[in-house]
């Protein structure tokens, strides 16, 4: 008999609630939307139905160790863990923890492993955490730090409610990015009282719904955004009372926009000046406006400046912290932190001197940190739940660098491109075989959290990541394998939580063993975690999260229907998170409290960022520079388009795709005619660093001179005779140097290439 289990889709950051009907032999029989999920409310896209290709994929079934001839041999967990631990200790004690780096920490559905990995990083004394977020969002985080006071302030966007919606560099009809995206976007498009503006160089599915489609020239968004702001300020359309009450520094900002020629900037970004004026006025006069942006302006020219200009647009028009606008939100467990600038003592990397932003380091510098003669070059690399050799820039540079590592460990569920390069591979249980959660709960005024329970037993010989991290710490001599006394007290504590036996015992333990404090997550998992319902051990960290959150936002937590004060409220929230199978609301905020989320002491937005205002002033110079660049690579490739059948590199079996099996390269009919290319032809696409073969598709959805291909294709998967590989890997073409000067986020949407039939 099959049973239906509530869980979540793990294919994009929306993590829609789903119900999976599991058959007797563990097969996924049916997947439907879960109406009880507090945010997705039963919504799904077509990808969720294909999750069986994740659960039933060719798995890693044993720890693997690389032999001298480059092939792998199976070893026991004991051997793998002890050898990895010994090597980590040896690198740390010989060269220093700064020569060890960690990359990954979770994908679209799994962030609990990354939390437990903080203990492993502490044991390695490694300050370097490379994250996929630092190849898209760190420019945003840096700007948020300046405007709102901390880099870990982040905002939501009320696309579902706003009267005027400005979508730039994102295609929610395919990539989602907001809850129930297709439904919300179609309702918005149908409503005659509301306006949808879409900015994209490509006529996307979302652009087709727009009231105003601004087909911007690739990478020229900064000119468009600056022109919109110039119209608003030159026509005096800014929200004066909002600016006076809630912000400082407007006069200084304004000075940089008053002399901008809207006509000139309109020419450069390829959009009619009248259209720019109409949209600027529309934004300023709308009762409520929300802006949603994503990779299209993050992974292209001027990305950190773009982040600033987008925020100025909603701030200058007063569309912030109110219903139907952009609002800061709280975090149950934060995805990111706040990093000090280097001049304030913030840490930097050894070889390239890169600063941390939001506690993260950018993948684009990783090959340079390894492939160097510097005495403190990176020598040990742990990759967990990420696939850099397909998702980070410049595969060749990475391959060359990884070959120089003294130790490379990959933790994954499948034999990935990156795992192939490792010395050791550790097989993880899938996200349906363990307790998991993401920290992508980024909503305001209602915020939620979804703890997912395992719905299948773990595949034999695989382990959840928290268990691997504990075993590594034990083998490194940092922690015992169990904590019987504290675990016993944790069991008692669960019988009568209000006696606070566990927190007192935990504090006493750390007083006695101060060294264990930095491994607190593991200690909790092995004590409190063991007292939780079977299979939910890794939820132990949520106990801390629940208490912290309830202490910080008591009124907001109580509005969800929970009773109690202080510690009791924390316990109630923990219990609710632990027992709600479809996810639960954790807070309901009031708009007047929004301003407490600003982290500047004066609770105001600090509008002026001199470095970015200088960058803005220098924009026109870019045009002259580009004109001089040689035309060896006449096309710009958008290297990584979200389509119906891609989901980063989570699904490896190409059979999961119902359409677009080879991930076609889109090309404009004029360009195709010139090169005598027809749909279905195999073409060679070459950049400065590499070359791929890919199937062409002729379409006028792109402008002349621009090509587009999907991300997440070209992964190797075991076939009947040999590994099959359908489609091409974008990152053979991308280089590490083509990136934002400040955040080092790659310009994947703007790769110069040439094309041959
Ligand atoms: N189907 C699917 N959905 C996904 C994912 C997936 O792999 N597949 N991945 C998830 C992840 S990790 C992320 S980060 C999000 C990303 O979500 P999005 O950012 O929405 O996705 P993309 O398609 O990469 O890029 C968005 C748009 O930017 C446009 N663009 C390219 N260059 C420019 C430019 O210079 N200016 C402007 N204004 N636009 C430009 C592209 O044409 C594209 O329509 O999607 C998530 N959702
Ligand atoms: N050229 C180009 N490159 C891009 C992009 C682009 O648009 N263009 N997009 C970028 C973006 S926005 C992102 S977010 C990154 C994403 O790139 P990555 O961070 O590398 O993420 P995923 O592709 O999601 O890889 C997740 C890995 O986790 C593994 N996995 C799945 N479940 C588990 C589990 O439970 N435990 C463990 N240990 N492993 C598991 C999968 O097998 C897979 O190997 O790609 C980036 N790369
Ligand atoms: S891939 Fe589709 S179903 Fe899955 S979380 Fe994203 S929007 Fe929801
Ligand atoms: Mo992403």
Q: What pLDDT was estimated at residue 630?
A: 61
Does residue 98 contact residue 126 with C-beta atoms inside 8 Å? Answer: yes
Q: Whose CA is nearest to atom 8 of ligand 3?
A: 16
- Nearest C-alpha neighbor of 294 from the set 399, 388, 170: 170
pLDDT means per 10 residues, the chain with 757 residues, are: 93 98 96 98 98 98 98 98 98 98 97 98 98 98 98 98 98 98 98 98 98 98 98 98 98 98 98 98 98 98 98 98 98 96 96 98 98 98 98 98 98 98 98 97 96 97 98 98 98 96 98 98 98 96 98 98 97 97 98 97 98 98 76 94 98 96 97 98 97 98 98 93 86 97 98 96
Q: Residue 730 C-alpha to ligand 2 middle, in angstroms?
A: 13
CB atoms within 10 A of CB 687: 21
Ligand nearest to the CA of 44: 3
Q: What pLDDT was estimated at residue 401?
A: 98
- Residue 262's alpha-carbon distances to 251, 315, 370, in angstroms, are 20, 20, 46
Cα(4)–Cα(581) distance, rounded to whole angstroms? Answer: 12
- Nearest C-alpha neighbor of 289 from the set 325, 328, 327, 240: 325
| Distance, C-alpha 672 to centroid of its chain | 35
- Report the predicted TM-score, pTM, of the whole model to 2 decimal places: 0.98
Ligand nearest to the CA of 650: 2
Q: Residue 133 C-alpha to ligand 4 middle, in angstroms?
A: 7
Cα(469)–Cα(115) distance, rounded to whole angstroms? Answer: 10
Exposed, middle or buried by CB within 10 Å (0-12, 13-18, 19+), for 588?
middle
- Nearest C-alpha neighbor of 140 from the set 347, 361, 322, 293: 293
Ligand nearest to the CA of 170: 1
Q: Which of 45, 170, 713, 740 to mutate to test the pocket of ligand 1 (most atoms within 8 A of CB)?
A: 170
Ligand 2 atom nearest residue 649's Cα: 23
Would you say the CB of residue 201 lies under 6 angstroms from ligand 1?
yes
Would you say the CB of residue 12 lies under 6 angstroms from ligand 3?
yes
- Nearest C-alpha neighbor of 668 from the set 223, 218, 199: 218
* Strand, helix or coil for residue 328: strand
Q: Whose CA is nearest to atom 22 of ligand 2?
A: 649
Would you say the CB of residue 174 lies under 6 angstroms from ligand 3?
no
- Residue 315's alpha-carbon distances to 238, 247, 255, 544, 736, in angstroms, are 9, 9, 16, 35, 33
Ligand 3 atom nearest residue 181's Cα: 7
Q: What pLDDT was estimated at residue 724?
A: 81
In the chain, count of helices (H) and strands (E)? 27, 28
Please provide the distance, in angstroms rounded to a whole number, between the alpha carbons at the two ends of the chain: 54
Cα(642)–Cα(173) distance, rounded to whole angstroms? Answer: 10
Domains and CATH numbers, the chain: 139-328 (3.40.228.10), 630-756 (2.40.40.20)
């Amino acid at each position: 008999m099959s049973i239906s289990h509530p869980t979540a889709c793990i294919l994009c950051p929306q993590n829609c609630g789903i119900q999976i009907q599991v058959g007797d032999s563990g097969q996924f029989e049916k997947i439907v939307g879960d109406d009880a999920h507090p945010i997705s409310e039963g919504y799904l896209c077509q990808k969720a139905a294909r999750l069986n290709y994740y659960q039933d994929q060719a798995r890693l079934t044993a720890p693997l160790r690389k032999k001298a001839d480059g092939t792998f041999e199976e070893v026991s967990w004991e051997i793998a863990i002890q050898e990895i631990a010994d090597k980590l200790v040896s690198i740390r004690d010989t060269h220093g923890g700064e020569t060890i780096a960690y990359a990954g920490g979770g994908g679209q559905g799994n962030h609990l492993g990354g939390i437990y990995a903080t203990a492993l990083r502490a044991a390695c004394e490694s300050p370097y955490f490379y994250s996929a977020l630092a190849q898209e969002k760190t420019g945003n985080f840096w700007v948020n730090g300046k405007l709102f006071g901390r880099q870990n302030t982040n905002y939501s966007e009320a696309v579902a409610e706003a009267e005027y919606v400005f979508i730039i560099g994102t295609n929610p009809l395919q990539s989602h990015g907001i809850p129930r995206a297709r439904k919300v976007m179609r309702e918005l498009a149908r409503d005659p009282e509301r306006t949808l503006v879409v900015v994209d160089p490509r006529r996307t599915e979302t652009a087709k719904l727009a009231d105003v489609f601004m087909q911007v020239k690739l990478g020229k968004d900064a000119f468009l955004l600056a022109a919109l702001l110039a119209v608003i300020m030159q026509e005096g359309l800014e929200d004066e009372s909002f600016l006076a009450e809630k912000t400082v520094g407007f006069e200084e900002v304004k000075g940089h926009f008053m002399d901008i020629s809207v006509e000139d900037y309109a020419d450069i970004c390829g959009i009619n000046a009248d259209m720019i004026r109409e949209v600027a006025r529309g934004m300023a006069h709308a009762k409520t406006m929300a802006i949603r942006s994503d990779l299209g302006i993050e992974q292209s020219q001027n990305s950190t400046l773009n982040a600033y200009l987008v925020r100025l647009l909603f701030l200058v028009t007063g569309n912030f912290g109110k219903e139907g606008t952009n609002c800061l939100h709280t975090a149950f467990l934060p995805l990111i932190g706040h990093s000090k600038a280097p001049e304030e003592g913030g840490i930097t990397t050894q070889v390239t001197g890169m600063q941390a932003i939001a506690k993260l380091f950018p993948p684009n510098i990783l090959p340079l940190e390894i492939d160097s003669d510097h005495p403190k070059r990176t020598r040990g690399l742990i990759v967990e739940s990420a696939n850099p050799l397909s998702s980070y820039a410049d595969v060749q540079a990475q391959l060359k660098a990884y070959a120089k590592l003294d130790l490379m460990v990959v933790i994954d569920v499948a034999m990935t491109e990156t795992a192939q390069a490792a010395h050791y591979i550790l097989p993880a249980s899938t996200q349906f075989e363990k307790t998991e959660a993401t920290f992508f709960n980024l909503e305001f005024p209602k915020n939620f959290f979804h703890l997912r329970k395992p719905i299948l037993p773990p595949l034999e010989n695989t382990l959840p990541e928290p268990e691997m991290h504990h075993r590594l710490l034990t083998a490194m001599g940092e922690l015992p394998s169990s904590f019987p006394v504290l675990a016993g007290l944790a069991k008692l504590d669960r019988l009568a939580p209000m006696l606070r036996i566990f927190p007192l015992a935990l504090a006493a333990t750390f007083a006695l063993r101060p060294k264990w404090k930095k491994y607190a997550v593991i200690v909790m998992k092995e004590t409190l975690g063991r007292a939780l319902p079977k299979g939910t051990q890794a939820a132990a960290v949520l106990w801390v999260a629940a208490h912290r959150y309830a202490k910080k936002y008591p009124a907001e937590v109580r509005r969800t229907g929970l009773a109690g004060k202080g510690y009791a409220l924390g316990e109630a929230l923990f219990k609710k998170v632990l027992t709600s199978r479809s996810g639960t609301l954790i807070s309901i905020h009031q708009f007047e409290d929004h301003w407490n989320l600003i982290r500047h002491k004066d609770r105001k937005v600090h509008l002026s960022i001199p470095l970015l205002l200088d960058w803005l002033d220098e924009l026109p110079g870019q045009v002259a520079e580009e004109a001089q660049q040689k035309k060896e690579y006449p096309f710009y490739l958008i290297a990584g388009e979200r389509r119906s059948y891609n989901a980063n590199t989570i699904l490896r079996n190409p059979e999961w795709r119902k359409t677009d099996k080879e991930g076609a390269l889109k090309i404009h009919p004029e360009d195709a005619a010139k090169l005598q290319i027809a749909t279905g032809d195999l073409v060679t696409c070459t950049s400065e660093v590499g070359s791929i073969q890919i199937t062409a598709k002729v379409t006028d959805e792109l402008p002349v001179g621009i090509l587009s291909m999907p991300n997440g294709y070209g992964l190797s998967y075991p076939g009947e005779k040999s590994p099959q590989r359908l489609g091409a890997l974008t990152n053979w073409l991308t280089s590490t140097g083509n990136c934002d000067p400040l955040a080092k986020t790659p310009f994947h949407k703007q790769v110069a290439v040439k094309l041959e039939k």
